[in-house]
Amino acid sequence: MALFSLAVLCSGRGSNLQALIDATSTGTLPARIAAVCSDKPNCTALTRARQAGIATRSLRQRDFPDRAAFDRALFADAAQFAPDLIVLAGYMRIIDPAVVAQWQGRMINIHPSLLPKYPGLRTHQRAIDAGDAEHGASVHYVSAELDGGPVIAQAALPVVAGDTAETLAARLLPLEHHLLVATARLIATGDIALEGGRVVRDGRPLPAPLRLAVDGKLVAA
Ligand code: GAR
């Protein structure tokens, strides 16, 4: 059977992409990354992909008349690699709903909050401002609603006295890497899927998102 294949979309630093690259090369993640696509032709993520020998594609919004045309073109580029799954790993654009619909159940996103809390931007600061005791990250199937699709798994960490958005983000990032790799693994192995709009594990709907445990495994909440 062909190895499960991923297309990863990134806009920036690409540390989550790097975690996926490393996990595919060690075999922790039984998958291959067929392509990395970006809306930012000069981003570090594309450099990381090239260094790993992965095909890259990038397009600029300014070369397209509108968002939908850009999205259709970028996702057509990704589709040429026939990925089983598209992973949004620090991809910082809202995607046209018609394009999202084409990839329903085959596209996931990592978001730095415990969804449904704090969709959108400035998630770390919003968690601090709200006085939250706990913050975290979520991996979810992408739906037309921004950061609103069914959540598969989450990683949580305590907010401590004196935390700033920067310190919180820095502590969360390594957890994000484990969370994304572990979730992609469950999808690649066929343990998790989206069925009827719900996350299903081994044929049964998940009552709550899985949680990242200290040993790096995803467990029932
Ligand atoms: C990550 O923290 C990811 O959760 C966040 O962007 C960062 C990308 O870092 N994504 C979003 O905010 C999407 N709404 P990376 O480029 O080093 O992987």
**Residue minimizing CA distance to atom 3 of ligand 1:** 90
The answer to whether the peptide bond before residue 119 is cis (omega within 30 degrees of 0) is: no
* 12 touches ligand 1 (CB under 6 Å): yes
CATH number at residue 144: 3.40.50.170
| Domain enclosing residue 128, as ranges | 4-219
Cβ contact 101:144 at 8 Å = yes
* 13 touches ligand 1 (CB under 6 Å): yes
| pLDDT value of residue 202 | 87
- What is the pTM (predicted TM-score) of this model? 0.98
Q: Which residue, among 70, 105, 91, has the nearest Cα to 192 in the 3D structure?
A: 105
Q: Which atom of ligand 1 is nearest to the CA of 10?
A: 16
User: 155 Cβ partners below 8 Å, 6+ apart?
Assistant: 136, 137, 172, 175, 176, 178, 179, 211, 212
Residue segments in the chain with a per-residue pLDDT below the cut of 70: none
| pLDDT value of residue 155 | 98
pLDDT in tens, 80-98: 999 999 999 999 999 999 9
* Distance (Å) from CA 203 to ligand 1 centroid: 30
* Distance (Å) from CA 1 to ligand 1 centroid: 32
* Distance (Å) from CA 205 to ligand 1 centroid: 27
Give the strands of the sheet with 218-219, arranged side by side: 55-58, 31-38, 4-10, 85-88, 107-111, 134-141, 151-158, 210-212, 218-219
| pLDDT value of residue 126 | 98
The total domain count for the chain is 1
| pLDDT value of residue 1 | 73
* Distance (Å) from CA 89 to ligand 1 centroid: 6
* 119 touches ligand 1 (CB under 6 Å): no
* 136 touches ligand 1 (CB under 6 Å): no
Helix (H, G, I), strand (E, B) or coil at 181: helix
Q: How many residues does the chain have?
A: 221
Pocket test for ligand 1, best of 10, 13, 110 (most atoms within 8 A of CB): 110
User: Residue 76, Cα to own-chain centre: how many angstroms?
Assistant: 19
Q: Which atom of ligand 1 is nearest to the CA of 173?
A: 2
Helix (H, G, I), strand (E, B) or coil at 173: helix
